[in-house]
């Protein structure tokens, strides 16, 4: 539809598509103007459609969407980037749009369950939401009433549909009797000490299995843990009168009629409690600590949504436990102060995410010089740093973690070099706010781990170079050694992976980290090739143009900082761009004829750089607050700039 005017759907014209031109999130609405007789209409915010099934018509008008996210256009953002290469322009726009769509204001996302005081919780098109009360439950019996409004329903590890039960991990089983929509049923599941699972509907057995016979992923199915209720795609159902009791002695351990608004709090299905950024606009209802490493930097280069950055940190810091660790992925709808009751392995399991989370905070302070916020939260960050220090091996001097996402946990180059980068960043912040820190700096190796020094890795190389653990000579050598990791469009995660194994993939996440290392080694050709191959390729596929995944955005700040060349100076002097650098080496190497970048300052202001090249002469224009100063350099040419708000000059290349 080009205009949102009235239109008619009938047996010949069955579909009307509202194209918003980009990713949008919100609550759709429309008005029925004329209706011949009752007809079936499907309203979908996806690529799939179910057509009108009857030979009737309906006329609709006033179609719209009440947005639940920021609707600012990329062209109106305080940060900007453009150049003579439209591929790079589109990559930057894609990342900026995805970041706009990923950041949510407090209470903008409505509750995903509806509570009826009589019928209970109404759940539609949702994966099961778990109670936070049952993580220690074991060998228990669960009973509840269920009313299938449409399609089916699901409960924790099993899905009940009309005439079928689908067991997650275990497959499907035919129900030996009819189960109808618009009918209440009493459903019962029994977990026994011997691993037996029994399910019945209205007292009639529908399934009986021995869970000890199943080991998905090589691990036996556990009968310990919580339960949840949901209704998968295009399903809807009511749930009420839930009771759980010990299977052996029948003592009640849980009871909830699901008829109170407090149910939304318990099951994490309430409106969002904080101003936060997710890791992507089409991901999940989790606030990922480690992934915010990229998003915080992107915000500083594009949206300038620093309130979202602080809101995300505020939300995450509420989950900190006694050890100093912060939850790696608290749920959007749960009270973050209560998620510590969840499984520690699940919520705090990726140790390297603690490092990435702190580095996200450090990048925010570097971008903004928001020392007031740094002072306000420093006690909690220092507690996290103390946990980090406790994981440093006193013999090897390397970091020993229980588990790391993209690299070896014990003495690995990723963890050890990221630890160095984290502690260096912490020292800068501590200096800026007048706090002393007793945490020692580390040196490290950039083999994969102590036991595998001949194994190279993308993530290990990335952080060992960006942390400056590697000398300039070793950095060049390490980047040259990336040839053995090269596969297809980019680089596989480590050299021991089989090129022909279907599980060996190219990760834009780790390749994005690696890109920074390549730039630190000043290998401009390799950096340009990686940008075009990995991120440029995504523009060709309509399914990835929407910016649906956080992994596709991390190159955005690289374009600003290295292609246009505008970035903050190193050290405390660079906080808030008090000292800045313009070094467009990569952009010149890429053969660009011109480039422009603008970054927002906190709490106000901006810095902008423009440059163009003609006949081997570069014309440069820089606008910056007069209280700041900077350096322009390219090749052997270096110019110190200061005491002005505008600079213009020409240099010979």
pLDDT tens for each residue of 241-290 = 999 999 999 999 999 999 999 999 999 999 999 999 998 877 677 899 98
Q: Please say if the pLDDT value at position 482 is more than 90.
A: no
What is the predicted pLDDT for the residue at 165?
35
More confident residue, 396 or 47: 396
pLDDT tens for each residue of 105-139 = 999 999 999 999 999 999 988 888 888 888 788 88
Which range (246-255, 326-335, 469-478, 546-555) has the least confidence?
546-555
What is the predicted pLDDT for the residue at 542?
65
In this structure, are residues 465 and 479 in contact, taking their beta carbons and an 8 Å threshold? yes
Q: Please say if the pLDDT value at position 439 is more than 70.
A: no
What is the predicted pLDDT for the residue at 455?
52
pLDDT tens for each residue of 173-198 = 677 788 888 999 999 999 887 888 88
Give the whole-number percent of the chain exceeding pLDDT 70: 80
Strands 629-634 and 579-582: parallel
Domain 557-652 has CATH 2.60.420.10: yes
CATH number assigned to the domain with residue range 113-266, chosen from the 4 options 3.30.413.10, 1.10.3720.10, 2.60.120.560, 3.40.50.1100: 2.60.120.560
- Over residues 74-100, mean pLDDT: 95
Give the whole-number percent of the chain exceeding pLDDT 90: 45
The mean pLDDT value of the chain amounts to 83
Write phi, then psi, for 385 (nearest 5 degrees): -65, -35
Residues in contact with 391: Cβ distance below 8 Å, sequence separation at least 6, in sequence order: 351, 399, 400, 401
In this structure, are residues 403 and 412 in contact, taking their beta carbons and an 8 Å threshold? no
Q: Please say if the pLDDT value at position 569 is more than 90.
A: yes
pLDDT tier at 414, thresholds 50, 70, 90: low
The residues of the chain that CATH labels 2.60.420.10 are: 557-652
Q: Please say if the pLDDT value at position 375 is more than 60.
A: yes
* Spatial separation of the C-alpha atoms in residues 418 and 351, rounded to whole Å: 11
What is the predicted pLDDT for the residue at 411?
44
Tokens 């649906």, residue located: 548
What is the predicted pLDDT for the residue at 325?
93
Residues in contact with 172: Cβ distance below 8 Å, sequence separation at least 6, in sequence order: 164, 165, 166
What is the predicted pLDDT for the residue at 572?
96
- Over residues 39-53, mean pLDDT: 52
More confident residue, 443 or 7: 7
pLDDT tens for each residue of 507-529 = 787 888 889 889 988 999 999 99
Buried b / exposed e over 4-27, threshold 16 CB at 10 Å, is: eeeeebeeeeeeeeeeeebbbbbe
* Spatial separation of the C-alpha atoms in residues 91 and 374, rounded to whole Å: 32
What is the predicted pLDDT for the residue at 497?
74
What is the predicted pLDDT for the residue at 340?
59
Tokens 């969407």, residue located: 65
Q: Please say if the pLDDT value at position 164 is more than 50.
A: no
Which range (308-317, 355-364, 379-388, 508-517) has the least confidence?
508-517
More confident residue, 47 or 19: 19
Q: Please say if the pLDDT value at position 50 is more than 60.
A: no
How many residues in total does the chain contain?
Answer: 653
């Amino acid at each position: 539809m080009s205009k949102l005017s009235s239109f008619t759907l009938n047996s010949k014209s069955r579909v009307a598509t509202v194209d918003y031109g980009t990713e949008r999130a919100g609550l759709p609405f429309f008005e029925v103007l004329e209706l011949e007789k009752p007809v079936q209409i499907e309203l979908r915010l996806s690529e799939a459609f179910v057509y009108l099934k009857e030979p009737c018509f309906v006329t609709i008008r006033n179609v719209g969407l009440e947005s639940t996210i920021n609707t600012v256009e990329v062209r109106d953002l305080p940060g900007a980037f453009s150049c003579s290469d439209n591929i790079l322009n589109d990559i930057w726009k894609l990342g900026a749009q995805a970041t706009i769509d990923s950041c949510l204001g407090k209470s903008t996302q409505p509750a995903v369950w509806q509570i009826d005081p009589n019928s209970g919780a109404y759940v539609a098109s949702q994966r099961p939401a778990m109670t936070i009360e049952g993580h220690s439950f074991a060998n228990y019996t669960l009973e509840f009433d269920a009313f299938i409004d449409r399609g089916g329903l699901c409960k924790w590890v099993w899905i009940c549909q009309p005439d079928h039960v689908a067991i997650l991990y275990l497959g499907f089983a035919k129900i030996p009797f009819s189960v109808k929509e618009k009918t209440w049923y009493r459903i019962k599941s029994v977990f026994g000490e011997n691993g037996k699972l029994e399910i019945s509907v209205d007292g009639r057995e529908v399934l009986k299995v021995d869970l000890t016979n199943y080991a998905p992923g090589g691990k036996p199915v556990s009968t310990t843990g919580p339960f949840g209720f949901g209704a998968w795609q295009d399903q809807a159902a009511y749930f009420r009168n839930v009771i759980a009791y010990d299977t052996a002695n029948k003592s009640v351990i849980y009871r909830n009629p699901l008829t109170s608004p407090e149910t939304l709090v318990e099951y994490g299905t309430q409106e969002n409690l904080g101003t936060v950024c997710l890791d992507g606009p089409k991901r999940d209802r989790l606030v990922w600590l480690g992934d915010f490493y990229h998003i915080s930097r992107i915000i500083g280069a594009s949206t300038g949504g620093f309130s979202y950055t602080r809101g995300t940190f505020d939300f995450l810091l509420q989950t900190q436990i006694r050890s100093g660790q912060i939850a790696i992925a608290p749920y959007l709808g749960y009270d973050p102060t209560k998620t510590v009751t969840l499984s520690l392995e699940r919520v705090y399991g990726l140790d390297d995410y603690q490092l990435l989370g702190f580095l996200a905070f450090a990048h925010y302070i570097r971008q903004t010089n928001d020392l007031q916020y740094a002072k306000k939260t420093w006690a909690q960050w220092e507690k996290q740093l103390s946990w980090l220090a406790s994981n440093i091996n006193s013999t090897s001097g390397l970091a020993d973690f229980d588990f790391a996402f993209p690299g070896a946990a014990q003495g690995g180059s990723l963890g050890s070099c990221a630890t160095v980068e984290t502690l260096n960043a912490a020292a800068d912040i501590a200096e800026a706010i007048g706090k002393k820190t007793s945490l020692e700096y580390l040196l490290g190796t950039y083999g994969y781990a102590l036991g595998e020094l001949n194994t190279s890795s993308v993530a290990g190389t990335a952080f060992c170079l960006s942390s400056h653990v590697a000398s300039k000579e070793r950095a060049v050598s390490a980047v040259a050694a990336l040839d053995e990791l090269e596969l297809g469009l980019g680089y596989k995660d480590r050299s021991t992976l089989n090129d022909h194994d279907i599980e060996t993939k190219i990760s834009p996440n780790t390749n994005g980290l690696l890109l920074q290392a390549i730039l630190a080694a000043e290998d401009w050709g390799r950096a340009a090739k990686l940008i075009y191959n990995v991120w440029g390729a995504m523009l060709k596929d309509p399914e990835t143009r929407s910016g649906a995944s956080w992994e596709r955005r991390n190159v955005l700040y690289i374009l600003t900082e290295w292609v246009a060349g505008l970035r903050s100076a190193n050290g405390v002097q660079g906080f808030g761009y008090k000292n800045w650098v313009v070094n467009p080496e990569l952009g010149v190497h890429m053969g660009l004829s011109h480039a422009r970048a603008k970054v927002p300052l906190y709490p106000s202001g901006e810095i902008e750089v423009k440059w163009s090249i003609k006949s081997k002469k570069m014309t440069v224009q820089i606008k910056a607050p007069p209280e700041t100063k900077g350096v322009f350099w390219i090749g052997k040419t270096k110019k110190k700039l200061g005491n002005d708000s505008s600079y213009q000059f020409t240099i010979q290349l």
